[in-house]
């Protein structure tokens, strides 16, 4: 009798086996502490490598806002930017930083952990999950700094600021879906990582971080609709709506934001799971 036929009876599983999706997700949930612990260790390790430690987490988006704000502040005309342009700018830059962290690091979730993937048996989905958890932890001081800066700039604090938490939770779901997709694509072709900075830069410019799309595309309804459907724009617009008076999110963005999150996580989980048996085998 073939020994492989007796393996399940003996409690053994075949190497490289892809379990059913439901079983896979249940196992991942049972091992969720692994992702949380891994994310915490990675965050602490990265902070210990820098002399400024946790300060660097908030300095990076602050420097980005300062540099790009100075450049585009001289280029953009007054009609393209709001009167409260500085609060408008820093909110966009700070929230976009959350996406870029999940997108870029998510692409390396599998390829950057080859030894771990090849040495231990666990649902590989936990690696992109750990990446998003780490970036969420990094987001906490960034959001706190954003609130402090808005208060200093004269933006009144309101109860609507509490809506930032569910908005960013929804964005985290979207980011996880994207991280799962690019994690598998990068395993298939490492060249995918070369395109990520370019994609980030394009999204950075089209997500209404520096200018008001409703003003710029006022006479171009098709372009305006496309701009309102860009996922990063949607989440930034919702945060601005919650934190800055006078910048209501368009209805299309309010509708599209949860739809993007559901589509990204649904497709991302299935797309990533289908290649579960192949992760680590070609490295």
Q: What is the pTM of this model?
A: 0.88
Residues 8-45 as b/e (b if ≥16 CB within 10 A, e otherwise) read eeeeeeeeeeeeeeeebeeebeeeeebbbebbeebbee
Q: pLDDT under 50 in the chain at which residues? A: 1-13, 15, 282-283
Question: Residue 52 has what pLDDT?
Answer: 59
Phi, psi of 166 (to 5 degrees): -65, -30
Beta carbons of 97 and 61 less than 8 angstroms apart: yes
Per DSSP, the residues of the chain read --HHHHTGGGT---TT----HHHHHHHHHHTHHHHHHHHHHHHHHHHHTSTTTTHHHHHHHHHHHHHHHHHHHHHS-GGGS-TTHHHHHHHHHHHHHHHHHHHHHHHTTTGGGHHHHHH--S-TTHHHHHHHHHHHHHHHHHHHHHHHHHHHTTPPP-GGGGGHHHHHHHHHHHHHHHHHHHHHHHHH-TTHHHHHHHHHHHHHHHTTSSS-HHHHTTT-HHHHHHHHT-HHHHHHHHHHHHHSTT-PPPHHHHHHHHHHHHHHHHHHHHHHHTTGGGTTT--
What's the total number of domains in the chain? 1
Domain range for 175: 21-278
Does residue 130 form part of some domain?
A: yes
Does residue 216 form part of some domain?
A: yes
Does residue 266 form part of some domain?
A: yes
Does residue 2 form part of some domain?
A: no
Question: Residue 50 has what pLDDT?
Answer: 63
**Interatomic CA distance for residues 252 and 65, integer angstroms:** 27
Does residue 36 form part of some domain?
A: yes
Does residue 9 form part of some domain?
A: no
Question: Residue 15 has what pLDDT?
Answer: 47
Does residue 37 form part of some domain?
A: yes
Does residue 143 form part of some domain?
A: yes
Question: Residue 51 has what pLDDT?
Answer: 61
């Amino acid at each position: 009798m073939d020994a492989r036929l007796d393996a399940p009876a003996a409690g053994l599983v075949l190497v490289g086996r892809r379990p059913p999706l439901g079983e896979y997700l249940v196992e991942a949930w049972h091992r969720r502490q692994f992702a949380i612990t891994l994310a915490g260790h990675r965050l602490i390790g990265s902070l210990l490598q820098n002399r400024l430690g946790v300060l660097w987490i908030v300095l990076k988006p602050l420097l980005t806002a300062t540099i790009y704000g100075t450049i585009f502040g001289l280029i953009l005309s007054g009609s393209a930017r709001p009167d409260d342009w500085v609060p408008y700018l820093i909110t966009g830059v700070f929230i976009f930083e959350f996406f870029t962290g999940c997108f870029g690091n998510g692409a390396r979730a599998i390829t950057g952990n080859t030894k771990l993937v090849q040495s231990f048996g666990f649902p590989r989905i936990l690696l992109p999950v750990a990446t998003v958890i780490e970036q969420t932890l990094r987001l906490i001081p960034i959001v706190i700094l954003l609130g402090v800066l808005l208060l200093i700039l004269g933006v009144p604090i309101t109860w609507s600021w509490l809506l930032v938490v569910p908005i960013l939770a929804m964005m985290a779901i979207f980011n996880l879906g994207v991280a799962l997709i690019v994690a598998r694509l990068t395993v298939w072709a490492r060249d995918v990582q070369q395109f990520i900075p370019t994609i980030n830069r394009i999204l950075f410019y089209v997500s209404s971080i520096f200018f008001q799309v409703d003003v710029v595309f006022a006479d171009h309804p098709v372009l305006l609709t496309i701009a309102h459907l860009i996922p990063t724009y949607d989440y930034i617009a919702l945060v601005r709506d919650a934190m800055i008076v006078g910048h209501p999110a368009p209805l299309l963005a309010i509708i599209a934001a949860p739809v993007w999150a559901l589509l990204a996580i649904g497709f991302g989980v299935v797309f990533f799971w289908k290649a579960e048996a192949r992760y680590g085998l070609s490295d």
